[in-house]
Amino acid sequence: MSITAEAPRVWLVTGSSAGFGRSMVEFALEKGDLVVATLRSPAMLDDLRGEYSSERLLIIPLDVAKSEDIPRAFQEAKRAFGRVDVVFNNAGISLNGEVEGTPEDAARHLFDINFWGAANVNTEAVRFFRDENPTGSGGRVVVNSSYAGLSPITCAGYYSAAKFALEGLTQTLATEIDPSWNIKITLIEPGFFRTNANRKGARFPLHPAYTHPDSVAVQTRRFIELVTEPTRGKVVSGDPAKAAKKVYELSLLPEPPMRLVLGQDALQYARKQLRMVTDDFDAYESWSEDLLED
């Protein structure tokens, strides 16, 4: 299929400093679109600022954990380009540690960004598309979740919990949108890709109750070490630039899916989880019989 839009569109991308966000900004610009790149440290995109004029690229500071700043970002986009067509809701952090070994303040901080931050970007995007874009033009929201929102990751319980919560809220929001608004929402559920998310994320010491060499926690931590080493390409083959191309293609679909899993590893984990859920349903289906009031 062609992956070129008929006219330049305006993208608003959160978490643009690296990884999926940076790749999405670069690809949209390469395709001739206009981009509002938001991130906590705008200086990280100085190279792009030197390559593209302000007529193509607007870089603004945004910490999605500060909910009051999210509408401001959309208004700056409107002042610069008149509208927003696609929101890539991508900002997030990682956190590794057993559920018992993760401090509550760290878990709450993760939820402030990965759940509340993303949720507030979603709702502001819907409001903006409906109330401020040209009537009927609507828009697209692409939410960068994770396969962890379908299949929980050992040693990343709170990360998985935030993604599960975001998936539930996003899917509910999608059902509430009036079709006449012409707003489409899709959850992206990638597997492991070459990003700095795991390397830069918080990592807590192994909880003493899980130190047996054969424990799932120990084995998972060994894998985490592999995927965060500089040579991790031998283990993690996902290329965020290729994922950005798929997201761009998705943004052009007239009727995009509710979910898009990216990566063979993510598909494997998701399908395994679905089989486990279905097996439990089937095994205990009879327990749902004869439960109505007499």
CATH at residue 139: 3.40.50.720
**In sequence order, which ranges of the chain are alpha helices (DSSP H)?**
19-30, 46-51, 69-81, 104-111, 118-131, 157-176, 197-200, 216-228, 240-251, 264-283
State the catalytic residues: 145, 159, 163
pLDDT at 234 over 60: no
Between 28-42, 123-137, 225-239, 264-278, the lowest mean confidence (pLDDT) is in 225-239
More confident residue, 105 or 202: 105
Q: Does residue 152 fall inside a structural domain? A: yes
Looking at residue 131, what is its pLDDT? 98
Length of the chain counted residue by residue: 294
The total of structural domains in the chain comes to 1
Residue-wise pLDDT for 51-108, tens only, equals: 999 999 999 999 999 999 999 999 999 999 999 999 999 999 999 999 999 999 999 9
Q: How many CB atoms lie within 10 A of CB 246?
A: 15
Short-list 34, 138, 126, 29, CA closest to 80 = 34
Q: Rounded to two decimals, what is the model's pTM? A: 0.92
Looking at residue 78, what is its pLDDT? 98
The parent domain of residue 27 ranges over 10-262
Q: Does residue 164 fall inside a structural domain? A: yes
Looking at residue 1, what is its pLDDT? 41
Q: Does residue 276 fall inside a structural domain? A: no
